[in-house]
Amino acid sequence: MSDVADRVKKIVVEHLGVEEDKVVENASFIDDLGADSLDTVELVMAFEEEFGIEIPDDAAETIQTFGDAVKFITEAS
Amino acid sequence: MFDLTGKCALVTGASGGIGGEIAKALHAAGATVGLSGTRVEPLEALATELGDRAHVLPCNLSDPEAVDALPKQAAEAMGSVDILVNNAGITRDQIFMRMSDDEWQSVLDVNLTSTMRLCRGVMRPMMKARWGRIINISSIVGATGNPGQANYAASKAGMVGLTKSMAYEVASRGITANAVAPGFIATAMTDKLTDDQKGKINAQIPAARMGAPEEIAAAVLYLASPEAAYVTGTTLHVNGGMAML
């Protein structure tokens, strides 16, 4: 697994308090990992901080799954 | 009780009677204060009076870009914005049938839209800090209505709806959002009234007098304090019993 994916997974596990093995490619933050809409905003904030990037609101809305996040951040950073 | 040492508060309309007292009360409780308003002179005078922990942050609230920039300027000057007091407001009274688009829009822009923009601007750092206090100064007329003030009353009622919705969303993050609704408060504006006019007003108030700006400031201080952590989404009416809501 790439470095980006590891770091994203760490944030998701810490923030949502879920088991690491639940954080898989297609895991939806809201449907599978128990996030509410505010959690997703906070995850995006945490990603921005960790990777030193800016994720605009319209892009943030497309980040629904763990895989989406890794893909977006890999392309952006 | 009500110790704000180490907290930073941004107060809009700090050049006015009520806003100035709010800033003084928060400052006296130990907070660093950012004094915002359109008139620089009274802000500078207040900052001088307060001494340390006071920053002047002029802003024209009818300019959306300036409003959006204010939270960042405040955070740069003070280190953070832990407490936001949206106190600034304008009136452009007119009977409803004659009310122009401009009279409506300018009041909504300054009183309601700028409040929304400032709340939005401070929310992200407050979420990260897991602590925040938003206090929006509404008005008794937002709850009761007032002839000649359809625009003002709508903006003040709008602030209450905004406050409640925000309070729901961020309650789990240690952020509270509340409104304070003053009744008749003695300020430079009411000093101009004749004794006869004042008498008529006081006759409508069970406490039989106008409120003092300090009495609004005390309500704000409470809602800003750590002790008020469990109070959110409420409107604290400070009106001498004029409307018991």
Q: What is the ipTM, given to two decimal places?
A: 0.77
Give per-residue pLDDT as tens, B200-213: 989 999 999 999 99
Picking from B163, B199, B183, B202, the residue whose alpha carbon sits closest to that of residue B243 is B183
Residue B238 confidence (pLDDT) above 70: yes
Q: What is the pLDDT of residue A1?
A: 55
For residue B159, pLDDT over 90 is answered with yes
Q: Do B172 and A45 touch (CB under 8 A)?
A: no
| Mean pLDDT in residue range B130-137 | 98
Query: Hey, are the CB atoms on A38 and B124 less than 8 Å from each other?
Result: no
More confident site: B95 or B192 = B95
pLDDT tens-digit map of B64-76? 999 999 999 999 9
> Regarding predicted confidence, which is higher, A77 or B62?
B62
CATH of the domain at B118: 3.40.50.720
Query: Which residue ranges of chain A lie beneath pLDDT 70?
Result: 1
CB contact under 8 A, A45 and B169: no
Is the torsion defined by CA of B207, B211, B214, B219 positive or negative? positive
Per-residue pLDDT at B191: 82
Binding residue positions of B: 38, 87, 152-156, 185
pLDDT at B174 exceeding the cut of 90: yes
Give the confidence band of B175 by pLDDT, cuts at 50, 70, 90.
Answer: very high
Would you tell me how many other CB atoms lie within 10 Å of the CB of residue B105? 14
Residue B49, pLDDT above cutoff 60: yes
**Mean pLDDT value across residues B70-84:** 98
B216 in any annotated domain: yes
Which residues of A are part of the catalytic machinery?
A: 36
Find the mean pLDDT for residues B218-241.
98
* Model pLDDT, residue B243: 96
**Structural domain contains residue B84:** yes
- Per-residue pLDDT for B190 more than 90? no
Percentage of chain B exceeding pLDDT 90: 94
User: In terms of CA atoms, which chain B residue is nearest residue A41?
Assistant: B124
Per-domain boundaries in chain A: 2-76
CA distance B92 to B203: 25
Domain A2-76 has CATH 2.40.50.100: no
Answer whether B194 touches A (CB < 8 Å).
no
Expressed as residue numbers, the domain containing B169 is 8-238
Give me B32's structure tokens: 């660093």
Domain count within chain B: 1
Q: Is residue B3 part of a domain?
A: no
Residue B2 covered by a domain: no
Residue B209 DSSP label:
S
Whether B130 has its CB under 8 Å from any CB of chain A: the answer is no
- Selected residue of A45, A47, A48 to mutate for chain B interface (largest B Cβ count, 10 A): A45
Q: Is B152 noted as a catalytic residue in this protein?
A: yes
pTM of the model: 0.92
CA dihedral defined by B214, B207, B177, B60, rounded to 10 degrees?
A: -50
User: How far is B76 from B85, CA to CA, in rounded Å?
Assistant: 17
- Does residue B1 lie within any of the structural domains? no
pLDDT at B197: 87
Q: Which of B122, B128, B166, B175 to mutate to test the interface with A (most CBs of A within 10 A)?
A: B128
Q: A55 with A48: CB under 8 angstroms? A: yes
B93-114 pLDDT, tens per residue? Answer: 999 999 999 999 999 999 999 9
